[in-house]
Amino acid sequence: MKKILFIIISVLILGVVGYFTFIYYVPYSVGYRSGELMKFSRKGVLVKTWEGQISQGLSGSNVFSFSVEDKNADIVEKMKAYQGQYIKVTYKERYATFFWLGDTKYFITEVQTEKSPLFRNQ
């Protein structure tokens, strides 16, 4: 009986560890987005996370919401400096997220400024 209980508990623990490892390390997709950085803030009650939004249209109707992990301090500083500017971001989308990482499934891995397509002739 003890051996069966040990096997069941071991399988459950390995399953939970495998699930968390898969969600964290295996991206669903990787891509690029560009637009005007409208909002970037640190929010949360118990766990603070960096969250932001990029406007991808003239009226702000197409908004891309994203998160930045705390370990990416250089990206956080760039986002603070690029507030209100047109930027291009590289992101990875996860299958799910954990509350201590961010509110969205999209996590920024790289950011750079870019010329706005609206004002290219000026």
Query: What pLDDT score was predicted for residue 60?
Result: 63
Quickly list DSSP for the chain. Answer: -HHHHHHHHHHHHHHHHHHHHHHHHSEEEEEEEEEEEEEEEEE-SSS-EEEEEEE-SSSS-SEEEEEE-TT-HHHHHHHHHTTTSEEEEEEEEESS--TTT-SSSEEEEEEEE---GGGTT-
Q: Is residue 87 part of a domain?
A: yes
109 occurs within a structural domain: yes
47 in any annotated domain: yes
Q: What is the pLDDT of residue 119?
A: 65
Partners of 96 in beta bridges: none
- Residue 81 is assigned to a structural domain of this protein: yes
Q: Which residue has the higher pLDDT, 59 or 14?
A: 14
Q: Which residues of 84-104 are buried (b: 16+ CB within 10 A; e: fewer)?
A: eebbebebeebeebeeebbeb
- Which residues span the domain enclosing 42? 28-116
How far is the CA of 55 from the CAs of 23, 33, 42, 51, 69, in angstroms? 27, 10, 18, 14, 21
Residue range 26-54, pLDDT digits in tens? 889 999 999 999 999 999 888 889 999 99
Residue 16 maps to a domain: no
Asked whether residue 9 is assigned to any structural domain, the reply reads: no
Confirm whether 7 is domain-assigned: no
Q: What is the CATH number of the domain that holds 33?
A: 2.40.50.860
Q: Is residue 121 part of a domain?
A: no
Mean per-residue pLDDT for 94-109? 89
Is the pLDDT at 122 greater than 60? The verdict is no
Q: What is the pLDDT of residues 53-86, one digit of tens each?
A: 998 876 667 899 999 998 899 999 999 999 988 9
Structural domain count of the chain: 1
Give the per-residue pLDDT at 62: 86
